[in-house]
Amino acid sequence: MAIRVKSPGLLTTVQDTGRFGEYAIGMPPSGAMDVFSYQVGNYLVGNEDGSAGLEITYFGPELEFTESAVIAVTGAEMPPKINGEEAPTWETLSVEEGDVLSFDYLRNGARSYLAVAGGIDVPVFMHSRSTYTLIGLGGYEGRALQAGDELQLGDARNGDARNGDAQVGKKVDADAIPRYTKETELRVIIGLASYRLTQESMKEFLNVEWTVTPDADRVGYRYRGGELGFVEREQPAGAGSDPANVVDFGYPIGSIQVPGGVEPIVLMNDAVTGGGYATIGTVISADRDRLAQSKTNDKTRFRSIELEEALAARGDRRKTLAEIKDSLA
Amino acid sequence: MAKTVKAQMPGTFYRRPDPDSDFYVEEGGSVSAGDTVGLIEVMKSFHEVKAEEDGTVSKFLVEHEDAVDAGQDLLELE
């Protein structure tokens, strides 16, 4: 045992890179919503890529270490405290047996990530330790952490002691740390069923400053602020009667649907994998980290880009991550 | 400085448990530590906001159904 949960926070789950590749059976990937912050956490503590950490949403837990450990907190501006003293984020820290990690109120962003050298050791389910709470699988007993839970740590890279002490004190360059504000711009590729929206409504979708609703969660981000209309037609066989309905198809992660023409929803890591709502666009993968750090009542604009720009953005993000990894090795 | 009760998390603040009920507490009303003074709705669930100390509610600083930020003062206690 290495971490005892004194209080769980609002929604603290074990996550890794996710359970990708299982769409054929309708299994969403789960995994860290902000992959950037999650991965950098693993780099900081010297973990192998894909080691499981904790995703901490909106309100932090109190965690007691029952043995010494090497940790890093990345992601949202939700200041961590060790034994009540504020501690830095995006920096590798050592904690001793009996130390308690807690968090101050969230200031900006939505999700903090706790990486621990050795990774959180929960059973692997379908090649991932990620928690999918809706079905109750993966992670720690398939659910968010609760008071009294006891987490084990895995063995650190190269069989070193799990307190990879060599990493302590390393920090991410200030320039490489994302800054979260209450306004977010998300780049989208228009499609696959954008033909269902009227042209005026597509313009409105791209012009409106949308507000993140309190419903936004790991399943989807819901927005309000505009109303969109669909091209009138006689619905084809197999499609439902809502003008937003099409014949069922697969939903990419990041895809945007607008049931009833109000409140667009961006589907995220725990979403249903297919269905009968027209998807009018998809938030590019490089911007989903930022989406995951927008919080209820924050503002969001969607900007249409071409596929080339999306691929370039994905390449840039990989390069940035590789550079950060090198700088912390 | 007056004591306040803060929002632990961002979301929508409600002063009553459901639309048919009375407010948990009115201005001028007294609360004891541990009493529920409101709810915050976020991520499709509701979370009770509790007073941490005894006191009299001198003033609500937010309205019923307002959006609130984490750490925001919700009400003042005397």
Q: Which chain A residue shows the shortest CA-CA distance from B42?
A: A214
Chain A residues near residue B43 by CB distance under 8 angstroms: 10-11, 57-58, 214-217
- The model's pLDDT over A289-307, given as tens digits with 9 standing for 90+, comes to 999 999 999 999 999 999 9
Interchain contact, B43 vs A106, CB within 8 Å: no
- CB contact burial A250-289 (16+ within 10 A = b; e otherwise): ebbbbbbbbbebebbbbbbbbbebebbbbbbbbbbbbbbb
Structure tokens at A250: 């697969």
- The model's pLDDT over A115-148, given as tens digits with 9 standing for 90+, comes to 999 999 999 999 999 999 999 999 999 999 999 9
Structure tokens at A34: 């902000």
Mutate to test the interface with A, among B8, B39, B41, B43 (most CBs of A within 10 A): B43
- The model's pLDDT over A247-270, given as tens digits with 9 standing for 90+, comes to 999 999 999 999 999 999 999 999
CA angle A191, A196, A200 (to 5 degrees): 95
What ipTM was estimated for this complex?
A: 0.93
Q: Which chain B residue shows the shortest CA-CA distance from A107?
A: B70
Chain A residues near residue B13 by CB distance under 8 angstroms: none
- The model's pLDDT over A189-236, given as tens digits with 9 standing for 90+, comes to 999 999 999 999 999 999 999 999 999 999 999 999 999 999 999 999
Mean pLDDT of A70-85: 98
Q: Which chain A residue shows the shortest CA-CA distance from B71?
A: A105
Q: Which chain A residue shows the shortest CA-CA distance from B65?
A: A214
For domain B3-77, give the fold.
OB fold (Dihydrolipoamide Acetyltransferase, E2P) (2.40.50)
Separation of alpha carbons A95 and A72, rounded Å: 10
Chain B residues near residue A11 by CB distance under 8 angstroms: 43
- The model's pLDDT over B7-62, given as tens digits with 9 standing for 90+, comes to 999 999 999 999 999 999 999 999 999 999 999 999 999 999 999 999 999 999 99
Closest CA to A104 of A94, A112, A96: A112
Chain B residues near residue A297 by CB distance under 8 angstroms: 10, 67, 69
Mean pLDDT of A104-113: 98
Interchain contact, A105 vs B67, CB within 8 Å: no
Share of chain A above pLDDT 70, in %: 97
Distance from CA of A287 to the nearest CA of B (A): 21
The pTM (predicted TM-score) of the whole model is 0.96
Q: Select the residue of B11, B43, B69 nearest A11 (Cβ to Cβ).
A: B43
Distance from CA of A193 to the nearest CA of B (A): 28
Quote the pLDDT of residue B2.
77
CA angle A240, A245, A251 (to 5 degrees): 120
- CB contact burial A135-162 (16+ within 10 A = b; e otherwise): eebbbbebbbbeeebebebbebbeeeeb
- φ, ψ of residue A128 to 5 degrees: the values are -155, 150
Share of chain A above pLDDT 90, in %: 95
Quote the pLDDT of residue B62.
98
Separation of alpha carbons B22 and B64, rounded Å: 12
Is A55 an interface residue toward B (CB < 8 Å)? no
Q: Which chain A residue shows the shortest CA-CA distance from B6?
A: A105
- The model's pLDDT over A149-181, given as tens digits with 9 standing for 90+, comes to 999 999 754 445 445 778 999 999 999 999 999
Is A203 an interface residue toward B (CB < 8 Å)? no
Q: Which domains does chain A have, with CATH numbers?
A: 3-178 (no CATH), 183-319 (2.40.100.10)
Quote the pLDDT of residue B1.
62
- The model's pLDDT over A29-40, given as tens digits with 9 standing for 90+, comes to 999 999 999 999
SS3 content of chain A, % helix, strand, coil (to 5): 20, 35, 45
Chain B residues near residue A215 by CB distance under 8 angstroms: 43-44
CA angle A218, B46, A82 (to 5 degrees): 70
Q: Which of residues 205-244 of A touch B (CB under 8 A)?
A: 214-217
Quote the pLDDT of residue A156.
58
Interchain contact, A105 vs B6, CB within 8 Å: yes
Q: Select the residue of B8, B41, B67 nearest A59 (Cβ to Cβ).
A: B8
Domain spans in chain B, listed from the N-terminal domain onward? 3-77
